């Protein structure tokens, strides 16, 4: 589990809407959810309120405004640092070290959201050799025609020897703000939405070198998921199970406490490592040489270290996990939202497992044996009855990771945006967030499945 006993990082942003929801429900306990009348939020026609868009092709990279970057073609097109636009000093807030960097900037064209959004999450895939790093920013236009500031969505490097990868707190303009990895409208009940955005990518390198990051994919998921305590049930449509490696986060408890207090909070990197290895991603003995040789599954420790967000002080930064997956040759990763378990069935049928984010009471997921304010697990298939087969890293050992969870329970805890915690307080849910990791060159069937769930 990830910070299971702490409030969700998104709870603050949704507090105003949560209070309103509680007032409509007319009570503050779980019984109120059962009495809540159906609303338009329960209409399946409104389910896919998500717009994921990415820049990945040579033509798309050429559409951006370039200041010192150049587009490169080939099997995996991207952008690299050409002639630097200038130099800048950066003081790392987590080490206090100030260093000078050469930089270049790519600014994407305006993307008009098909779904005016209350939330946006950016994600990226990049190679950052030692001596380089990147920054991703977002600027949007509100539905009233005014603009947001440029918000930092992440400062990232695959390693941790040059900078500490970090989200940036304290960003906001009184109408929207950034919560770790997520842009959010402060008060969605006002009707204010983000109608379009631009992404800005800054590439950094040590001065006087020919080093460069390479960015292959840059995208964002905008969404306007209606507030809901329950979601419509989907009909089972697939019986299939993928052979995905099984790793427990719990056997790493107490290991490397500098990375979010050790393995008990490592649900996200543990889930990521499972799917990375499913696609053939392997770490060399040299890459794992820093891990205590007495530790089992050292690759999980490695995933925790290299997904760790030094500002959030955890390994659950969504785009940092997707970016980590894409450091493995031939893999790419995105963060998006899905509409139902039918979407997951579409992916599983094409051989693509998914990592889902959910929160729940112990009584809301039969067989889990725990409750959590935020947890990632890997969906690997469906039974003949339509129930969910998940590799749940919150298990006592690797041999206990495979679980079967009731379809109706799993779908609801994953897709809802509002829930009652153990104290009867209204808190937030993930609204269908998932990580998708898949080949850099998907098969036609995989490409079709990804397109069907809105991933380009």
| pLDDT value for 31 | 33
> Rounded to whole angstroms, what are the CA distances from 235 to 73, 270, 385, 430?
43, 30, 10, 22
SS3 sequence of the chain: CCCCCCCCCCCCCCHHHHHHHHHHHCCCCHHHHHHCCCCHHHCHHHCCCEEEEEECCHHHHHHCEEECEEEECCCCCEEEECCCCEEEEEECCCCCCEEEEEEEEEECCCEEEEEEECEEEEEEEEECCCCEEEEEEEEEEECCCCECCCEEEEEECCCCCCCCCECCCCCECCCEEEECCEEEECCHHHCCCEEEEEEEEEEEECCCCCCCCEEEEEEEEEECCCCCCCCCCCCCCCCEECCCCCCCCHHHECCCCCCCCEHHHCHHHHHHHHHHHHCCCCCCCCCCCCCCCCCCCHHHHHHHHHHCECCCCECCCHHHHHHHHCCCCCEEEEEEECCCHHHHHHHHHCCCCEEEEEEECHHHCCCCCCCEEEEEEEEEEECCCCCEEEECCCCCCHHHCEEEECHHHHHHHHHCCEEECCCCCEEECCCCEEEEEEECCCCHHHHHHHHHCCCC
Q: Which tokens belong to 238? A: 């697939």
| pLDDT value for 1 | 56
| pLDDT value for 456 | 87
| pLDDT value for 12 | 33
| pLDDT value for 76 | 95
122, 74, 72: which is closest to 334 by C-alpha? 122
Q: Which tokens belong to 298? A: 């050292």
pLDDT per position in the chain (456 positions), as tens? Answer: 544 333 344 433 333 333 223 332 333 333 333 333 333 334 333 446 999 999 999 999 999 999 999 999 999 999 999 999 999 999 999 999 999 999 999 999 999 999 999 999 999 999 999 999 999 999 999 999 999 999 999 999 999 999 999 999 999 999 999 999 999 999 999 999 999 999 999 999 999 999 999 999 999 999 999 999 999 999 999 999 999 999 999 999 999 999 999 999 999 999 999 999 999 999 999 999 999 999 999 999 999 999 999 999 999 999 999 999 999 999 999 999 999 999 999 999 999 999 999 999 999 999 999 999 999 999 999 999 999 999 999 999 999 999 999 999 999 999 999 999 999 999 999 999 999 999 999 999 999 999 999 998
Q: How far is 121 from 136, CA to CA, in rounded Å?
A: 11
Q: Which tokens belong to 448? A: 């079709």
Count CB atoms within 10 A of the CB of residue 129. Answer: 16
Q: Is the pTM of this model over 0.85?
A: yes
Count CA within 13 A, CB hemisphere, residue 152. 14
């Amino acid at each position: 589990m990830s910070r299971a006993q702490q409030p969700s990082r998104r709870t603050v942003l949704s507090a105003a809407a949560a209070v309103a929801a509680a007032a409509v429900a007319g009570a503050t306990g779980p019984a109120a959810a059962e009495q809540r009348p159906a609303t338009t939020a329960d209409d399946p026609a409104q389910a896919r309120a998500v717009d994921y868009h990415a820049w990945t092709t040579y033509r798309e990279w050429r559409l951006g405004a370039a200041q010192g970057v150049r587009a490169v073609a080939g099997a995996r097109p991207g952008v690299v640092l050409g002639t630097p636009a200038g130099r800048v000093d950066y003081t790392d807030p987590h080490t206090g070290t100030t260093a000078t960097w050469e930089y270049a900037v790519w600014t994407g064209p305006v993307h008009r959201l098909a779904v005016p959004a209350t939330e946006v999450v950016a994600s990226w895939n990049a190679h950052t050799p030692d001596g380089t790093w990147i920054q991703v920013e977002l600027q949007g236009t509100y539905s009233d025609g005014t603009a947001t500031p440029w918000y930092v969505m992440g400062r990232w490097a695959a390693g941790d020897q040059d900078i500490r990868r970090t989200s940036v707190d304290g960003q906001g303009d009184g109408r929207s703000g950034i919560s770790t990895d997520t842009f959010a409208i402060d008060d969605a009940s006002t009707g204010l939405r983000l109608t379009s955005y631009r992404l800005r990518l800054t590439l950094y390198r040590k001065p006087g070198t020919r080093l460069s990051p390479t960015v292959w994919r840059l995208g964002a998921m905008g969404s306007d998921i209606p507030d809901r305590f329950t979601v419509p049930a989907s009909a089972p449509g697939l019986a299939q199970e993928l052979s995905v490696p099984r790793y427990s986060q719990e056997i790493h408890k107490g290991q490397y406490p500098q990375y979010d207090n050790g393995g008990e909070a490592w649900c996200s990197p543990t889930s990521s490592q499972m799917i990375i290895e499913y696609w053939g991603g392997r770490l060399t003995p040299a890459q794992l040489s820093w891990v205590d040789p007495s530790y089992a599954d050292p690759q999980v420790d490695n995933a925790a270290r290299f997904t760790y967000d030094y500002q959030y002080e955890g390994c659950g930064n969504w785009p940092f996990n997707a970016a980590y997956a894409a450091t493995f040759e031939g893999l790419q990763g995105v963060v998006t939202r899905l509409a139902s378990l039918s979407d997951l069935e579409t992916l599983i049928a094409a051989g693509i497992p998914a990592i889902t984010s959910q929160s729940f009471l112990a009584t809301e997921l039969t067989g889990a044996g725990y409750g959590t304010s935020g947890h990632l697990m890997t969906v690997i298939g469906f039974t003949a009855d339509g129930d969910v087969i998940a590799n749940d890293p919150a298990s006592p050992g690797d041999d206990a990771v495979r679980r079967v969870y009731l379809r109706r329970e799993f779908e609801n805890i994953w897709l809802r945006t509002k829930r009652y915690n153990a104290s009867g307080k209204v808190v937030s849910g993930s609204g269908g967030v998932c990580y998708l990791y898949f080949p850099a060159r998907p098969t036609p069937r995989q490409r079709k499945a990804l397109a069907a769930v809105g991933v380009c």
